[in-house]
Amino acid sequence: MKHPNLENLKENILTPHFVALPTYFYGNLKSKTMSNYLWRVTANKTWNVVAKGMEVDVVVSNRSGKPNVREIATALTAKYGIKDLSGAGLSESTFDFQKG
């Protein structure tokens, strides 16, 4: 036995429905998009447990500037298994930055 509303259901599912939303609902779509930037960060000198030449890739989200020390320290910990250096006085001048 066929369901009496089966044809209507198919029609409603397959037909695109467009709803006009007021501009205050969606605002500026450009400001809502998420941007990710890849940076290759290389140690240019030895500092504490960071050896010269250590290299990590850091993804920076929602901004185009270079990664901060906390992001670099987290990436170093993840890649090399060294202790977290985010509060140890690590300086940005220890690294060279290359935007990927």
DSSP string of the chain, one letter each residue: ---TTHHHHHHHHHS----PPPHHHH--HHHH---EEEEEEEESS-BTTBPTT-EEEEEEES--SPPPHHHHHHHHHHHH-PPP-TTTT--GGGEEEEE-
Tell me the per-residue pLDDT of 56-90, one tens digit each, with 9 for 90 and over: 999 999 888 999 999 999 999 999 998 878 777 88
Tell me the per-residue pLDDT of 15-35, one tens digit each, with 9 for 90 and over: 555 545 454 444 554 555 678
How much is the pLDDT for 35? Answer: 87
pTM for the whole thing?
Answer: 0.65
Whole-number mean pLDDT of the chain? 79
